[in-house]
């Protein structure tokens, strides 16, 4: 019988193989360009197809950052988190 560790290793290997294929199909990356060049080309394509989508994505990222910042502030001020980590 296979143990838990062996099953996890098999799942990780399959995840890497199939995840890489999904990423390669999703993003049109060429072998001679870096990640940022590929990302900038994708952003240009998104903007050409629907300019409003870029602003929605940027607003969502900003809203997520604000939410996480407020959550961290709340955890620090309303709980004894600093005492728990020894500060």
Same structural domain for residues 44 and 72? no
Contacts of 27 (CB under 8 A, 6+ apart): 38, 39, 42
For residues 44 and 32, state if they share a domain: yes
Q: Which residue has the higher pLDDT, 69 or 53?
A: 69
Q: How confident is the model at residue 62 (pLDDT cuts 50, 70, 90)?
A: very high
Is the pLDDT assigned to residue 61 strictly greater than 70? yes
**Distance in angstroms (rounded) separating the CA atoms of residues 87 and 85:** 6
Is the same domain home to 31 and 61? no
How many CB atoms sit inside 10 A of residue 49's CB?
9
pLDDT for 6-51, tens place per residue? Answer: 888 888 887 777 766 555 555 566 666 666 677 777 778 777 877 8
Tell me, what's the pLDDT at 2? 63
pTM across the whole model: 0.48
**Structural domain boundaries, residue 9:** 1-49
Number of domains composing the chain? 2
């Amino acid at each position: 019988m296979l143990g838990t560790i062996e099953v996890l290793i098999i799942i990780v290997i399959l995840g890497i193989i199939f995840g890489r294929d999904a990423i390669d199909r999703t993003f049109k990356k060429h072998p001679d360009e870096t990640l940022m060049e590929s990302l900038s080309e994708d952003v240009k394509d998104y903007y050409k197809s629907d300019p409003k989508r870029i602003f929605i994505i940027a607003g969502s990222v900003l809203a997520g950052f604000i939410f996480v910042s407020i959550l961290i502030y709340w955890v620090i001020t309303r709980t004894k988190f600093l005492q728990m980590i020894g500060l």
